[in-house]
Amino acid sequence: MTLSSARRIELFRRMLRLRNVELRIESLYHEDRMKTPVHLCIGQEAISVGVCAHLTNDDSVSSNHRSHGHYLAKGGGLNELIAELHCKESGCTKGRGGSMHLVDTAVGHMGSSSIVGGGVPIGTGMAMAYKMRGLARVSVVFFGDGAADEGVLYESVNFAMLKRLPVVYIYENNGYSVCTTTRERQAQELIFHQVLPNKMWTQTVDGNSLDAVNAAAATAIALARSGGGPSLIECKTYRVREHAGSGVDRTGKYRDPAEIERWETHDPVHGLRADLLARGLLDQKGLEAMEAAIEAEIDEAFRAAVKSPLPLDEDLTRYVYCED
Ligand SMILES: Cc1ncc(C[n+]2csc(CCOP(=O)(O)OP(=O)(O)O)c2C)c(N)n1
Ligand SMILES: [Mg+2]
């Protein structure tokens, strides 16, 4: 599925917005007003935007600790995200969850789990609910290569294949689980992906290419929606920043600085921006106007978050159990 010019520009805008939100978080993180760990997805924007572009608010996403991109691409509120990072009552989980527990049920972002692999069975269960209720909805599960080390992934994928569930597994292979490479941890590439392709539609794509992610996601999501069962897309990408917090460690302690530089030259946002400018789909003035609108939105989200109140001490145990 090829993108129209208008759609390509809109998806670029979403990627740029996500990038600039994270750059702002990174630039202010040292002030210590954001009382939560953050796991930035800088360099992985094409994946969440390219996948979520095919989903409606009735479809769901189950996410992991690196969740800002999934949440924003699914349409989660920016003000509520930034307030959550500041642990404020106006945050999307009322200041209780922080960066790793983002929820916006109105748009189908059903939550993220800080337990590696924890979101995989939850998203698989969402797909089972859709199937049992006869709903033409799709559940998307984002997981990393660290989750591919966990047994729960294989149990879940097996179950989804057995029951032909409408679930799309998005494997964000960014090469690292904290400081350890995928190659050092896995005896062979993801087993279901390699061994059982005839039971499940799978594809490996360049996760830094919006076009590649968009095309694969279009196929997988249409398949799930039409009763064709589960699928898996491996998106090869790179975690440019450190595992958590801000910045890039270029001292070579656990990864070669030249490797970081190589991936920086294959940046999904910069690549698409250059392509749009070269093709004349966007000019410098249009780009500046787009960026100014994004920056104004981010300014407002931070302003509102800083001035909004913290949760009250006496409400500490609220929301521990569902109150309905
Ligand atoms: C079950 C479990 N084991 C270990 C951890 C500690 N941990 C948090 S994030 C992480 C790395 C996960 O790597 P990956 O799934 O590849 O995601 P990435 O950080 O690369 O986006 C680990 C090991 C955890 N949170 N949960
Ligand atoms: Mg990883």
Residue-wise DSSP of 204-269: EEETT-HHHHHHHHHHHHHHHHTT---EEEEEE----S-SSSSS---S-SSS-HHHHHHHHTT-HH
Q: Which architecture does CATH list for 5-315?
A: 3-Layer(aba) Sandwich (3.40)
Give the angle subtended at the CA of 264 by the CAs of 263 and 269, to the nearest 5°: 110
Residue 148, ligand 1, Cβ within 6 A: no
Strands 180-181 and 176-177: antiparallel
Inform me whether the pLDDT recorded for 193 exceeds 90.
no
Q: What's the whole-model pTM score?
A: 0.97
Neighbours of 261 (CB within 10 A): 10
Ligand 1 atom index nearest CA of 148: 15
Inform me whether the pLDDT recorded for 194 exceeds 70.
no
Neighbours of 310 (CB within 10 A): 11
Instruction: Give the per-residue pLDDT at 190.
Output: 72
| Pairwise CA distance, residues 290 & 297, whole Å | 11
Question: Whose alpha carbon is nearest atom 3 of ligand 1?
Answer: 116
What's the pLDDT band for 317 if we cut at 50, 70, 90?
Answer: confident
What's the pLDDT band for 123 if we cut at 50, 70, 90?
Answer: very high
**In the chain, what percentage of residues exceed pLDDT 70?**
97
Distance 221 CA to ligand 1 centre (A): 26
Least confident piece of the model among 38-52, 203-217, 265-279, 305-319? 305-319
Instruction: Give the per-residue pLDDT at 191.
Output: 67
Residue 220, ligand 1, Cβ within 6 A: no
Query: Can you tell me the mean pLDDT for 159-183?
Result: 96
Question: Closest by alpha carbon to 64, among 166, 130, 150, 160?
Answer: 150
Instruction: Give the per-residue pLDDT at 324.
Output: 59
For residue 55, give the 3-state DSSP assignment.
coil
Inform me whether the pLDDT recorded for 144 exceeds 90.
yes
Instruction: Give the per-residue pLDDT at 186.
Output: 87
Ligand 1 atom index nearest CA of 44: 21
Distance 146 CA to ligand 2 centre (A): 5
Instruction: Give the per-residue pLDDT at 322.
Output: 65
Residue 217, ligand 1, Cβ within 6 A: no
**In the chain, what percentage of residues exceed pLDDT 90?**
91
Q: Give 153-174 as a DSSP string.
A: HHHHHHHHHHHT-SEEEEEEE-
Give the angle subtended at the CA of 124 by the CAs of 120 and 130, to the nearest 5°: 150
Provide the mean pLDDT of the chain. Answer: 95
What's the pLDDT band for 189 if we cut at 50, 70, 90?
Answer: confident
Q: Which amino acid is at 4?
A: S
Instruction: Give the per-residue pLDDT at 323.
Output: 58
Domain boundaries, the chain: 5-315
Q: Which residues of 125-135 are buried (b: 16+ CB within 10 A; e: fewer)?
A: bbbbebbeeee
Question: Whose alpha carbon is nearest atom 17 of ligand 1?
Answer: 144
What's the pLDDT band for 192 if we cut at 50, 70, 90?
Answer: low
pLDDT in tens, 234-271: 999 999 999 999 999 999 999 999 999 999 999 999 99
Inform me whether the pLDDT recorded for 197 exceeds 90.
no
